[in-house]
Amino acid sequence: MPDMSTKTITELPFMKMHGLGNDFVVVDARARAVEITPALARGIAHRQFGVGFDQLALIEAGAGDAHLTFFNSDGSTSAACGNATRCIARYLMDESGQTELHLTTDRGDLFACDAGNGLTSVNMGQPQLLWHQIPLAEEMDTLELPIEGSPTATGMGNPHCTFFVENAEQVRLEEFGSRCEHHPLYPERTNVQVAHLVATDHLRMRVWERGVGITLASGSSSCATAVSAARRGLTARKVQIDLDGGTLWIDWRDDGVWMTGATMHVLTGVLTAEFLDSLT
């Protein structure tokens, strides 16, 4: 791949999208190779000096309709980002006229489809339920971890730690999430969810994302929470999850965990050479 450091990019087109307020900068690199360095990702992520995002997604040509790579706002990478995948799937379907897509990620092959009424569905694949898949630091039962609150561990291409509480609204998530993200049982850090049961097919959830902080929504976190609730016998496999930014519908089927919800393409813009040079 040619050297595409920020010094050699004269300007960089991007799109701003969100899924329920979980917001993304999306760079389409199918026709032009782009290297996203940690410094570039952090610079674009800054909400005062850059554009601001929860995750950055890079679209590249791949074995399927496209290959997606994800970056957190601290410059680290993530193998999965459910809401970004849905946003990009909607963009690609609108562009091509297709109603079904095959996307590849570091998590594996993901399939997306038009769910009607402006909604987009993505199959996030089978959950990872064994300790070494998530991964955890040592062998243990992932249903109830030896952490205060007995959370459940799940892998969705990224690690998750789900706490079921009496009232998710009352948890001081900024302090709680930051502490749990760095728990020694999670060698790669973890996303943290707090959720309470509204009904046997309905959960209320709030989320702290590793490398980001509090976000209004998270697709992979919603999948992990739905899987955890079903494993613990709190719900069936098909649930509605209300997040701070809106609602997702999760359905854990035989072929994987399907996530359905709304998306928004907010704007298309260009990062200037002056801004890109400032990051070197």
Residue 143, in any domain of the structure: no
Q: What is the pLDDT of residues 244-264, one digit of tens each?
A: 999 999 999 999 999 999 999
- Angle of helix 219-231 relative to helix 82-96, nearest 10 degrees, comes to 120
Residue 226, in any domain of the structure: yes
Q: What is the pLDDT of residues 196-208, one digit of tens each?
A: 999 999 999 999 9
CA distance linking residue 78 with residue 66, whole number of Å: 17
Q: Is the pTM of this model over 0.85?
A: yes
Which is nearest to 248 in space by CA: 152, 145, 122, 147? 122
The CATH number for 61's domain is 3.10.310.10
pLDDT at 1: 36
Which is nearest to 238 in space by CA: 227, 246, 153? 227
Question: What kind and span of H or E run contains 174?
Answer: helix 173-181
Chain centre to alpha carbon of residue 6: 25
Q: What is the pLDDT of residues 159-200, one digit of tens each?
A: 999 999 999 999 999 999 999 999 999 999 999 999 999 999
Provide the pairing of β-strand 66-72 with 100-105: parallel
Residue 116, in any domain of the structure: yes
Question: Which whole-number Å values give the CA distances from 141 to 130, 153, 164, 188, in the listed order?
Answer: 8, 9, 17, 18
Residue ranges making up the domain that contains 99? 6-124+263-278
Within this chain, do residues 53 and 100 fall inside the same structural domain, yes or no?
yes
Tokens of 223: 């999948």
Within this chain, do residues 76 and 113 fall inside the same structural domain, yes or no?
yes
Averaged confidence pLDDT in the chain: 95
